[in-house]
Chain A
């Protein structure tokens, strides 16, 4: 018998041995929340402005830098972020909409065409869009769309400037999971603040292997 067949046979034999005692063992439920009497929040309740405020607050709470901009100020906000950071060479995914006229003089934009890890290590930062953002947890999700690019470009550079539009913001995790359902087979990266560790005496230290600075531009009303 192959290992596969044997393990499956063990499982079937094991399950035939009986059901666990006690409650919560009703008819089969295939998904969370579908069991009898279980109802967690599936949707938030905040108005769009309050949702954006909450996202800004939660991002900042986990040490991301946050800028707010109206759609008309988007380009200027990107320019200001780069100027403040002093970042001159930036990698961008091929599908990012970028107003180059608004960038600081001397900014060099490198469009990713399969750069090596070493090449990515040599740029000052990366600019991307986002797929979804979750206000309650201060999370940004990237799904590899053309304005976000492949995973390596947001991983190797030390500075990630991420542009989030109000329409991408949901309030709670279940809403994000639902929105991402049809993109489940794409590589997804959920980002909540810059990389961090709590491995030394459980003290949180920002900045280990991922980008040590995460800056988010929230483009709203």
Chain B
């Protein structure tokens, strides 16, 4: 059963991709055994971190932009009802049709019906988190409609019968050799002499998809931003597949979470700087498409906008958790997360992996359906510092841990060992001073775990907890020490001290992560 917060319905189970088959500790342990995965991830996240740091460093007003981004999102949430109806009116005034979907089931039905009404049995899709969240491709398949993913990484995932593992680069867990194998095996008509050069692989995808683009009658997209004031939808991308999907078909269907709305056109000045620099580490992404309803003689002549709740209002109802809805899906928090870098995206069991997934998925599904995710973090704070809209992910994690404990307590009346452990963890994590003290006390943990590099099992009553999660050994040195040893200079992402809000601890006490090992092996 899903747990509602303040009685607000959450995303229904049995549809979409917000709940994993396994709890995080189980899935993470499996992922940790995959050395290829860890290698691929370490390479990729290191590359993107360096690129991001370079382009963020170019902007003298980065901190002001972050503050403005946060303020704009908070303002949008505070009057979300007003902005959504304003958006609806503006889209309608320009010939678009707005649909409202309480949850994944309803959204899937709306889209399936819209596609079926065109008479087409195919649709081209541009990568969208919202449609992945609701399992749209599966729903369309059940309705006899084939959805073609057109983003290169999504195509790799689709052809590999795989799941996305990163928000921005869904196939980040695959290296070039694996991608070549997938293409050779699954891509009809591919050149058997295909090499594993990224350029050759991209060319193969271009050839494979081009015919579909040129003949597609229905396009499906998500939205990065929707402007209430003007009714403008904005899609940010790199490859041109997005432009193809929103330009060439006769009918365009856009599915967006209700939290994507921004009040005013001027907000784009902020977000079109924050997003590309944070996500791909570029000054600007190659292509951004904006459209408002239907334009006679240019692009699709039918436009449908599906506004999706699916647990978002449940997140909105939690004053602390609400800020997870500010997320612009840049994936910067994944790329800096020591936990993500080791376990990869699949372990999180949801389309939203990494730090943002750990705070968003449990709120969308109800905390009890993703109860281990808020614990999938060392609270090192790197995500908060990287986040372009300043979502205080560590605080939300701590808050959700406490919610889990509270819900467990109410369920059982008597606290179990796990509840005690988690309550203690929440108490420790809630105050950085306590956290620092606990870190010092972690030497005990190191002593326990020294032999195998893992704390295999703690004595009762903590045994139940460690059985499930195979605690990593606390680090012998702090993250900053580790980085300095490794690179001979301070960590780049933490070099620029972010503006701390009043009352926050100095970065050093807050940001000492548990690394799994003192050194990378």
Contacts and interface: CB of A to CB of B under 8 A. Distances in A.
Q: Do A and B come from one complex?
A: yes
Contact of A173 (B213, B244, B272, B299): B272
A162 to B, nearest CB: 14
Nearest to B241: A209
Contacts of A144: 295, 298
Given A177-B265, A209-B213, A192 B240 contact: no
Interface stretch (B199-207, B353-361, B367-375, B485-493): B199-207
B266 A32 contact: yes
B309 interface: yes
A17 B206 CA distance: 49
B161 interface: no
Given A13-B317, A150-B298, A177-B265, A29 B71 contact: yes
B100 A117 contact: no
Interface of A: 2-4, 6-8, 10-15, 17-25, 28-35, 37-42, 58, 62, 114, 117-118, 121, 134, 136-139, 144, 150-152, 155-156, 173-174, 177-178, 181, 184-203, 205, 207-211
B378 interface: no
A184 B243 contact: no
B145 interface: no
Interface stretch (B148-156, B185-193, B441-449): B148-156
Given A32-B270, A118-B214, 4 more contacts: A28-B78, A150-B297, A174-B266, A210-B240
Given A118-B214, A138-B283, A178-B266, A32 B69 contact: yes
A199 B152 contact: yes
22 contacts: A24-B71, A32-B266, A38-B68, A40-B65, A42-B269, A137-B276, A144-B298, A150-B297, A152-B299, A155-B240, A177-B266, A190-B284, A192-B285, A197-B202, A197-B238, A200-B176, A200-B202, A207-B203, A207-B206, A209-B213, A210-B239, A210-B244
A166 to B, nearest CB: 20
Interface in B219-264: 227, 230-232, 238-241, 243-244, 247-248, 258, 263-264
B267 interface: yes
B75 A28 contact: yes
A208 to B, nearest CB: 4
Contacts of A187: 289-292, 295, 298-299
B40 A201 contact: yes
A91 B501 CA distance: 54
Contacts of A173: 269, 272-273, 284
Contacts, number: 306
A185 B502 contact: no
Interface of B: 6, 8-9, 40, 43-44, 47-48, 51, 60-61, 64-65, 67-72, 74-75, 77-81, 84-85, 94, 99-102, 106, 150-153, 156, 169, 171-172, 175-176, 179, 198-199, 201-203, 205-206, 209-210, 213-215, 227, 230-232, 238-241, 243-244, 247-248, 258, 263-273, 276, 280, 282-293, 295, 297-299, 307, 309, 313-314, 316-320, 322-323, 392, 501-503
A155 B247 contact: yes
B9 to A, nearest CB: 8
B243 A189 contact: yes
B343 to A, nearest CB: 19
A178 B268 CA distance: 10
A32 to B, nearest CB: 4
B316 A14 contact: yes
B316 A11 contact: yes
B283 A192 contact: yes
A152 B298 CA distance: 8
A192 B288 CA distance: 9
Contacts of B264: 30-32
Contact of B280 (A152, A174, A198): A198
B300 to A, nearest CB: 10
A156 B214 contact: yes
Given A24-B74, A173-B269, A201 B198 contact: yes
Nearest to A191: B287
Nearest to B169: A199
B324 to A, nearest CB: 11
B444 to A, nearest CB: 33
Contacts of B232: 184-185
Contacts of B80: 11, 15
Contacts of A25: 74
Contacts of A199: 151-153, 156, 169, 171, 202, 239
A52 to B, nearest CB: 17
Given A3-B100, A201-B175, A17 B318 contact: yes
Given A24-B71, A199-B151, A200-B202, A14 B288 contact: no
